[in-house]
Amino acid sequence: MKHSEPDFEVGIIGGGPAGSSMAAYLAKAGINCVVFEREIMPRPHVGESLVPSSTRVFKELNFLPKMEEAKFPHKFGAAWTAASDAKVYDMDFGGVSADCHVDVRFEERDQPGVAQNYTYHVDRGKFDLMLLQHASGFGAKVYEGVGVTGVDFTDPNHAAVKYSIGKKEMSTTCRVVVDASGRKTLVGNQLKWRIQDPVFDQYAIHTWFDGYDRRVMAKRKETMGDFIFIHFLPITNTWVWQIPITDTVTSIGVVTQKKNFAKSKESREKYFWECIKSRPELYEGLKAQGSQQIRAFKDEGDYSYAMRQLAGDRVVLVGDAGRFVDPIFSTGVSIALNCSRFAHKDIIGALESGDFRREAFNTYESTIRRGTRNWYNFITVYYRLNVLFTAFVQDPRYRLDVLKLLQGDVYDDAEPAVLTRMRSIVTEVEKNPKHSLHGFLGDLTANAFAEAHSD
Ligand SMILES: Cc1cc2nc3c(=O)[nH]c(=O)nc-3n(C[C@H](O)[C@H](O)[C@H](O)COP(=O)(O)OP(=O)(O)OC[C@H]3O[C@@H](n4cnc5c(N)ncnc54)[C@H](O)[C@@H]3O)c2cc1C
């Protein structure tokens, strides 16, 4: 019996950065693909500051000129600030003192394949729409306002993506399905692959301000206005992001642990302002004449998780649909884009060979697992022994290796040496209650490396 041809070669669920970059890569290579996006774009979204490894994807997709035309603020670096009464710590492993007020510029380290010394901050409504339109320009079919309800994998010859239009149940067949549904993790939920992160249970509340002078917290006011700022708060495991959206609009978000987060909307907003007040200059800047809140508060909750597998027979998970790691280093969009950079090659290979078993997507799965494991460990160190991060950034022996991680170049090493070094210091400090840094251990990621160092 001759099998009928599927409607599309590849069906992509979700039109965020993961889905639209995947569609762009595939359509550019001449693959017949379709994107199902449940929202009508543009829609607002959290995750507004990129890291430079996203530039490779923009370049490969001929998207850089559009990023420039859109005039998104250029992001030249990142800065971390501490409350003014923060102590200065002496690191006895290298004589380095860290005052928890550090910054990096991306131009300090050349990145292979990246010719510019900045990346971007983006209004996600605008950026996501542009990237989806770019994919459509290469020939990808895009259905907006179509929410996928599930995928039927029972037919051995194709997968069927199910959705309803009005009251009518419909389905579209394809050889491979890409789940790019973000934190909704459609396929991961359906196949019961999702594992909640045992450690991170962060919540965030965020909004936009117009007219806030974002240089008030900068050490070098002339050159750091368009950096991302992470302001540490005196409250454990709590920090604030400050991200430029336009010349005058700034995104401000508080990230904290679930236990600090009240149920009612009013008390969450009160909590936002209490947190901001713990950094008086920031509070005064946001409340100054000429600065006003221009968006309603939005919150995001309990977001860290992994998936048992990132691919299966006829299916690949990309972006947040595959894994979510705490956003402290602004990694999400870049990971989403790089998922497509790696996964589209395996998908094209599978279409050419006709082999759609999970093994066909092995290269993608192992590459992304390596990258996100590095991110995860880096973030774990950060929360466990914050002063170590700032000390390493300031230490010339380690600075460029840390910068490499911050630039998003995490995929090529099984574990970068700098991370191994940081992890072993954390273990040393944990084991020795008399260590000068012992008192600075955070509780959130306690003993997270114990297993790896059980020797
Ligand atoms: C508090 C917080 C702060 C963050 N800050 C940053 C940051 O500064 N920088 C950064 O890079 N990242 C940040 N992130 C992460 C970033 O938001 C995500 O990693 C990024 O959006 C992932 O892109 P994606 O395409 O995988 O998913 P999304 O951007 O979420 O896109 C998924 C799309 O799928 C659609 N969809 C969902 N379900 C269905 C369905 N059933 N059918 C059809 N369509 C569907 C959705 O409507 C959505 O458009 C942050 C995240 C959080 C929670």
| Atom 14 of ligand 1, residue of closest alpha carbon | 47
Question: For ligand 1, atom 37, which residue shows the shortest CA distance?
Answer: 181
Which ligand 1 atom is the nearest neighbour of the CA of 228?
A: 8
- The candidate with the shortest Cα–Cα distance to 23, out of 251, 199, 180, 169, is 180
Torsion of the alpha carbons at 390, 223, 228 and 131, rounded to the nearest 10: -140
Rounded distance from Cα 183 to ligand 1 centre (Å): 6
**pLDDT recorded at residue 221:** 72
| Most informative mutation of 184, 237, 239, 328 for ligand 1 (most atoms within 8 A of CB) | 184
pLDDT for 91: 55
Other C-beta atoms closer than 10 Å to the C-beta of 143 total 15
Residue 352, C-beta contacts closer than 8 angstroms, at least 6 positions apart? none
φ and ψ at residue 379, rounded to 5 degrees: -65, -35
- Type of residue at 200: F
* 204 three-state secondary structure: strand
pLDDT, position 100: 65
Q: Where are the alpha helices (DSSP H) in 254-361?
A: 265-277, 280-287, 332-353
pTM of model > 0.85: yes
Q: 296: Cβ–Cβ under 8 A, 6 or more apart, which residues?
A: 207
**What residues does ligand 1 touch, defined as CB less than 6 Å away?**
13-19, 36-39, 45-50, 147-148, 180-184, 186, 204, 255, 300, 303, 319-321, 327, 330-334, 336
Q: Hey, what domains does the chain have and what are their CATH numbers? A: 8-72+123-197+305-370 (3.50.50.60), 202-301 (3.30.9.100)
pLDDT, averaged in runs of 10, over the chain (455 residues): 81 98 98 98 98 97 98 96 61 52 92 94 98 98 97 97 92 98 98 93 95 87 84 87 97 92 82 94 95 96 92 98 92 96 98 98 97 92 88 91 94 90 92 89 74 38
Q: Ligand 1: distance of its center to the CA of 341 in Å?
A: 17
| pLDDT at position 99 | 55
